[in-house]
Chains A and B, each alone.
Chain A
Amino acid sequence: MELRINQQTYQVEADADTPLLWVIRDDLGLTGTKYGCGLAQCGACSVLVDGNVVRACVTPVAGVVGREVTTIEAIENDAVGKRVVAAWVEHQVAQCGYCQSGQVMAATALLKHTPKPSTAQIDAAMVNLCRCGTYNAIHAAVHELAQGENA
């Protein structure tokens, strides 16, 4: 099947129900998207599909044919994603960093749809787990982005 990932076209041989995560990681070698649970519980595998955040570990690859997938590797090519990464660095969000690809994707999706989200909208969107407890740093980074001060 033909996939569009990070503005490139790939020919992939995979069963239709293979999770997008494993096609991205093992077939395409893009390992920035992480496996954490395989059950859409933690959000470490978050990617964008047509600008919406999805959990790649439970998304059948066949479901993204004809759509535009963005992974963390291309996030700085996106104007909003670039701002998010800059805020993540400014706020020194990452600790172990394992969940942060997914956190950055979730924040990017939120801000692409809602450039100035309310606290309630931020809380509803930023639900990925972080075992290092970077939640307050994430909160601070997204709030700053929501105020547009980091443009």
Chain B
Amino acid sequence: MNARTDAPDDLLRLRNGETVNLSRRRFLAGTAIGALVLGFGLPLGSARVQAAAATTERGTQVPAFLEIRPDGSVHLLSPFVEGGQGVNTAMAQIIGEELDADPATFVVDSAPPGEAYVVMENGWRITGGSMSVRMSYPTMRRLGALARTMLLQAGAEQLGVPVAELGTEPGKVVHAASGRSLGYGELAAKAMDLPVPDPASVKLRDPSQFRWIGKPVQRLDAHDKSTGKAIYSIDIKVDGMLHAAVQHAPRLGMTVGGLRNEEQVKAMKGVHSVHQLPGAVAVVAERWWHAKRAVEALQVDWKEAAADSQVRPMPADFSTDGWRDHLAAQGGPSRDEENQGDVAGALASAKTTVEATYHNQYLNHAQLEPPSATARFNPDGSLEVWLPNQAQDMFRDDIAKRTGLDPARITLHSPLLGGFFGRHFLYDSANPYPQAIALAKAVGRPVKLIWSREEEFLRDAMRPMAVVKFRAGLDEKGLPVAIEAISATEGPTEALAGKQGDKVDPTALEGLSGKAYAIANKRTAQIYVKGPAMLGYWRSVGNSLNDFFYESFLDELADKGGHDPFELRLQLLQGNPRLTTLLQAVGELSGGWKRGPFTAEDGSKRARGVAMASPFGSEAAVIAEVSLEGGQVRVHDIWQAIDPGSIVNPAIIEAQVNSAVSLGLSQVLLEESVWLNGMPRARNYDLYPVLPPSRMARVHVRIVESGAKMGGIGEPPLPAVAPAVANAVAQLTGQRVRSMPLSRHTFS
């Protein structure tokens, strides 16, 4: 069979061995003549890229990205992965604006690995760091403009008129003089065969003329995601596939010593085979339920980690409380990230000094979709893998390294992510695909491996923990003249590298460093403490903990100096119009700053707290209103003003603020990964609480477009939530909380 298809989604449903007619984004209306016909095993990306014009400028190989079908639908292979943040819709808006095609006509899939799709201005290709839109915005606009120019050129040839006489309307080339027009779908075959114009030759639309950028365009995936049609990695089906489940060693680094009941388990219903893997055992079966039951029945003798273990061995006596005490006991040496003025001198001469120690907790990502991977070796020895990821090329290269296969013989598919929050980066030992590949190889059939929720919580990479010691000095007016923050911690980037880098890991200290307040003498430093736990990036990364510390401590300084915390921030931001405007905006949004305590209409006693953060190129200010209900903190309202410079979709931004607020509330109110005896106490949502609907706050959003360089939006609304809540709680109860989550504290 010679199926005519080009979308990865269609490819996913093909049976092994079927030939696919890959049109290379050169769609030939009504005929396959001239289109390339390739075996399914060939990597999609490189073939597309070969067919595209050879050019070195980023994001200019139009046919690698865009295919316009006869019905006028625009099929985009996006460099990024959609996981809820709305990037597919944003890309359709940005490209559609310049292409002159309604974003609603777009169908977006994630592109395979490949140099053509490295479009970010920093030379990376990841879906993370709140970077996708801000790092590719001009490039993706230009891509749309290049494609439009090619369609105009094709239109000129087709209509036999000079290109200068032509214009476009959404989805068509128009010759106003004669009233004739041609749909993009009619022109695409010819257009995509044309050479890509000089990238410098295209003119971008004046922002005042934008139809879709900056507008609350509807998400492209809303209906599919409301009707079960959206396909995630866990849903992948390939012909002849078997299902697999694993049981991991209780502590990372341990290896399989032996199986006590292998024969009994092999005889269990549906079991195909039992396998020993590095640090895990696996069962392959006809059904995942059979595989899971069987692998959980396996009685394994686990051996302690060998001295030459390739992973971080987890010791049997590790506990999170013990680790916190260990961090708190560290005295140095420390390494400076920031050091301005004369902190020691200013502290010595200060009228008042304030000291406090803060800490935070480990967190799981707890995305709702448990990790999975499907691996298939094709008859020619090439390998296909379907897996959740935030960095296609890095994963492809890692698979090449692990298997010894040439990267060109590895096809990587990146389905929708059922949440990610930093979960799907390349974490050694925290991803199922090495196991899926090993099992597929062993059984000679495609294998889909799903990690049960319990196995996921055992191997997830934790959001780091830190103990931060603050010292500050106040002058005779009670204003801060010096602040020092020394964090005993290991950043996620250091943890992944297994060592300290030449410079301080910015993901360890961001949120302590980089604060905009005018405090003349300041020092931020890290005491690097390498730990045994696997650490990872968690939404807003270092800011997720450090802004809690800093912004809470700043309120302590305000109280000590006799200043209102909102007024103190305004004072420390004098001469900074962007942040002054932002802080005033959130004050206004909340109906005017009032700290309380005050009595609400329902008779409850409430107070408000304020906090700010400068994460990922954006600026955020938050006010929280809280009360106590039965000793538990209730957050009623969150007001957030956010300034990402300029925006693409205000509706998606509002949704992302809601989303980030929910994670911010979850971490400050109740969420925590507790380890005892080298193991996490919680292996599922029963003991690992995430924010339930009953504890969500109302969220009020104001977007401020200062016109500054575009910043991120997925993570920036998160970090200021926790300190705003903690500051409100302190005002309400008189009790200053210096650690998260608040559920560890008793209030009265």
Contacts and interface: CB of A to CB of B under 8 A. Distances in A.
Residue among A25, A36, A95, A104 with the most chain B CB within 10 A? A95
Contacts of B694: 123, 127
* A: contact size bracket: 35 or more
Contact of B686 (A36, A39, A97): A39
B154 to A, nearest CB: 35
B323 interface: no
A95 B85 contact: yes
Nearest to A30: B228
Interface string B80-99: 00011110000000000000
Interface stretch (A109-117, A132-140, A143-151): A132-140
A97 B225 contact: yes
B684 A136 contact: no
B684 A131 contact: no
A95 B84 contact: yes
B586 interface: no
B684 A138 contact: no
Residue among A26, A98, A101 with the most chain B CB within 10 A? A98
Interface stretch (B58-66, B216-224, B516-524): B216-224
Contacts of A71: 228
B450 interface: yes
B237 interface: yes
B718 to A, nearest CB: 10
Contacts of A37: 453, 684-685
B289 A96 contact: no
A33 B289 contact: no
A129 B692 contact: yes
B421 A131 contact: yes
A78 to B, nearest CB: 12
Contact of A99 (B83, B219, B368, B370): B368
A16 B658 CA distance: 42
Contact of A136 (B234, B658, B685): B658
Interface in A84-133: 85, 88-89, 92-101, 104, 123, 126-133
A150 to B, nearest CB: 13
B659 A41 contact: no
A104 B315 CA distance: 44
Contacts of B696: 133, 135-136
A44 interface: yes
Contacts of A100: 225-226
A41 B366 CA distance: 13
Given A34-B368, A129-B690, A96 B228 contact: no
Nearest to A122: B693
* B: contact size bracket: 35 or more
A116 B699 CA distance: 25
Contacts of B51: none
Given A132-B662, A133-B661, A137-B658, A94 B219 contact: yes
Contacts of A134: 655, 658-659
B369 A98 contact: yes
Contacts of B232: 98
A29 B287 CA distance: 11
B229 interface: yes
Nearest to A103: B226
Interface stretch (B22-30, B166-174, B201-209, B411-419): B411-419
A22 B229 contact: no
A99 B369 CA distance: 9
Contacts of B289: 18-19, 22, 26
A73 to B, nearest CB: 5
A27 interface: yes
B163 interface: no
B400 interface: no
Contacts of A138: 693
A130 B696 CA distance: 11
Given A26-B288, A92-B218, A133-B691, A85 B367 contact: no
Interface in A16-70: 18-19, 22, 25-27, 29-39, 41-42, 44
A104 B691 contact: no
A46 to B, nearest CB: 11
A134 B218 CA distance: 16
A19 B307 CA distance: 42
A85 to B, nearest CB: 5
A31 B235 contact: yes
Nearest to B231: A31
B404 to A, nearest CB: 32
A129 to B, nearest CB: 6
Contact of B690 (A31, A96, A131): A131
B626 interface: no
Interface string B663-701: 100000000000000000000111000111110101100
B659 A133 contact: yes
Contacts of A99: 368
A36 B269 contact: no
Contacts of B227: 32, 72-73, 75-76, 85, 101, 104
A92 B222 contact: yes
B369 A36 contact: yes
A33 B228 contact: yes
Contact of B419 (A32, A41, A96): A96
A15 interface: yes
A20 B421 CA distance: 30
Contact of B368 (A22, A26, A129, A135): A129
Interface of A: 15, 18-19, 22, 25-27, 29-39, 41-42, 44, 71-73, 75-76, 85, 88-89, 92-101, 104, 123, 126-139
- 7 closest cross-chain pairs (CB), A and B: A32-B228, A133-B662, A97-B225, A96-B84, A98-B418, A72-B228, A95-B84
13 contacts: A32-B227, A35-B234, A38-B453, A41-B684, A75-B228, A76-B227, A88-B226, A96-B225, A129-B368, A129-B685, A133-B662, A133-B691, A136-B699
Interface of B: 83-86, 218-219, 221-232, 234-235, 237, 243, 269, 287-289, 366-370, 416-421, 450, 452-453, 651, 655, 658-663, 684-686, 690-694, 696, 698-699
